[in-house]
């Protein structure tokens, strides 16, 4: 399942082909993905210029020149690729589960850049848990999938003081609080495990315990904020470099390339120098948590 860094990599891959381009034609090849497509989906996009391509949490948002927003979510297996010529190989495939089976190409957006370069933006999704919906002009921030999103884990806004404030008096385990999308938006299972390991904090710790007296941030809150930002920015940087590699060498793109410290490493030695712990897997709220019980407190 694509997490925030993968979605940001997709955005950066699509951006040069989409921003400023005009949508010449849209092929919608089935009535629904996870949800039905909006009414008049293709018609409402046709002829519009794309002002910008934004990401919020794990949603891609295509801003059109009439104020309409196209919200795209990749679900479990969604991917975008770009084709420019029948004979040419694709210049970029922006997701890990690369499917060359065109029966899963559900939407093809034909765009023409300011320089009159024509490209096809193709959305492929074998499992169809992804979706595309419209946000009417001026209604993006009140859209049901957008309105309750917490803060982005990428910017400097996420610091120890803010985390302490968000988590104070919360009795849920730290892991659950970090996965709560209304607090921090777009942080998924993998990166929560990795951030907690970097911060040397146990996923089982009570979330509120990282806030001190009068909701002052403790050193734990500061460490956690730093770890979250660095885990995400490292993964985005890795995605960016894989994007570049892909164009040059046809390499695979996505988080299979990322190396994790604890995620999916049950039974392996903790990679922290001087720690002789073993990466352990437990299940919290139905999802696997990987952590080192020796150095994470
Ligand atoms: Zn350890």
Same domain, 105 and 176: no
Cα–Cα distance between 224 and 160 in angstroms, integer? 7
Q: Which of 48, 58, 120, 170 is catalytic?
A: 58
pLDDT, one tens digit per residue, over 242-295 is 655 444 333 334 444 567 899 999 999 999 999 999 999 999 999 999 999 999
Contact call for residues 98 and 80 (beta carbons, < 8 A): no
CATH (domain of 105) = 3.20.190.10
pLDDT, one tens digit per residue, over 46-91 is 999 999 999 999 999 999 999 999 999 999 888 888 888 754 445 5
From ligand 1's centre to the CA of 220, what distance in Å? 16
Residue (of 145, 157, 215) closest to 182 by Cα position: 145
Q: Is 247 strand, coil or helix?
A: helix
Stretch among 106-110, 128-132, 153-157, 252-256 having the lowest mean pLDDT: 252-256
Contact call for residues 167 and 184 (beta carbons, < 8 A): no
Q: Which of 2, 153, 203, 217 is catalytic?
A: 2
* Structure confidence at residue 13 (pLDDT): 87
Q: How many domains are contained in the chain?
A: 2
Cα–Cα distance between 109 and 130 in angstroms, integer? 16
* Structure confidence at residue 97 (pLDDT): 44
Q: Is 155 a member of any domain? A: no
* Structure confidence at residue 252 (pLDDT): 35
Same domain, 23 and 110: yes
Same domain, 88 and 178: no
Q: Is 225 a member of any domain? A: yes
Cα–Cα distance between 269 and 249 in angstroms, integer? 33
Same domain, 115 and 181: no
Cα–Cα distance between 265 and 212 in angstroms, integer? 33
CATH (domain of 213) = 1.10.8.50
Same domain, 208 and 258: yes
Mean pLDDT of 29-38: 98
Residue (of 207, 186, 187, 205) closest to 195 by Cα position: 187
Pick the last residue of a domain from 83, 115, 142.
Answer: 142
Same domain, 169 and 131: no
Cα–Cα distance between 8 and 14 in angstroms, integer? 10
Sheet containing 118-124, strands listed edge to edge, beginning at the edge strand earlier in sequence = 22-28, 105-112, 118-124, 79-83, 92-93
Angle between helices 160-167 and 219-249 (to 10 degrees): 110
Q: Is 296 a member of any domain? A: no
Active site residue 2: yes
From ligand 1's centre to the CA of 30, what distance in Å? 49
From ligand 1's centre to the CA of 226, what distance in Å? 18
pLDDT, one tens digit per residue, over 166-205 is 999 999 999 999 999 999 999 999 999 999 999 999 999 9
Stretch among 138-147, 237-246, 277-286 having the lowest mean pLDDT: 237-246
Same domain, 45 and 125: yes
From ligand 1's centre to the CA of 196, what distance in Å? 11
Pick the last residue of a domain from 84, 107, 142.
Answer: 142
Cα–Cα distance between 169 and 65 in angstroms, integer? 44
Pick the last residue of a domain from 111, 142, 173.
Answer: 142
Same domain, 169 and 121: no
Same domain, 116 and 170: no
Active site residue 3: yes
Active site residue 114: no
From ligand 1's centre to the CA of 36, what distance in Å? 47
From ligand 1's centre to the CA of 200, what distance in Å? 8
Tell me the pTM. 0.86
Q: Is 68 a member of any domain? A: yes
Q: Is 151 a member of any domain? A: no
Mean pLDDT of 212-227: 94
Active site residue 287: yes
Question: Domain of 27?
Answer: 4-142
Q: Is 150 a member of any domain? A: no
Q: Which of 25, 44, 128, 287 is catalytic?
A: 287
Same domain, 267 and 193: yes
Same domain, 178 and 231: yes
From ligand 1's centre to the CA of 231, what distance in Å? 17
Same domain, 223 and 280: yes
């Amino acid at each position: 399942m694509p997490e925030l860094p993968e979605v940001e990599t997709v955005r950066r891959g699509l951006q040069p082909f989409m921003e400023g381009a005009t949508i010449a034609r849209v092929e919608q090849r089935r009535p629904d993905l996870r949800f039905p497509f909006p009414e008049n989906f293709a018609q409402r996009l046709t002829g519009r210029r794309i002002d910008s391509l934004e990401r919020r949490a794990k949603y891609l948002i295509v801003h059109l020149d009439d104020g309409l927003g196209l919200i795209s979510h990749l679900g479990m297996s969604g991917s975008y690729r770009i084709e420019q010529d029948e004979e040419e190989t694709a210049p970029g495939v922006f997701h890990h589960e690369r499917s060359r089976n065109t029966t899963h190409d559900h939407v093809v957006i034909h765009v023409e850049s300011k320089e009159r370069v024509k490209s096809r933006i193709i959305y492929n999704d074998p499992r169809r848990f992804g979706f595309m919906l419209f946000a009417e002009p001026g209604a993006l921030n009140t859209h049901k999938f957008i309105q309750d999103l917490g803060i982005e884990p990428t910017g400097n806004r996420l610091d120890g003081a803010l985390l302490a404030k968000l988590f104070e008096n919360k009795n849920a385990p730290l892991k659950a609080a970090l996965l709560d999308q209304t607090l921090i938006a777009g942080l998924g299972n993998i990166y929560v495990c990795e951030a907690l390991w970097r911060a040397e904090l146990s996923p089982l710790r009570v979330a509120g315990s990282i806030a001190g007296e009068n909701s002052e941030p403790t050193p734990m809150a500061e460490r956690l904020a730093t770890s979250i930002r660095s885990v995400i920015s490292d993964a985005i940087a890795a995605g960016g470099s894989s994007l570049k590699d892909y164009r040059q060498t046809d390499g695979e793109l996505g988080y299979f390339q990322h190396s994790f410290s604890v995620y999916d490493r049950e039974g392996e030695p903790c990679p922290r120098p001087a720690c002789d712990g073993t990466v352990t897997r437990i299940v919290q709220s139905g999802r696997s948590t990987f952590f080192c019980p020796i150095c994470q407190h």
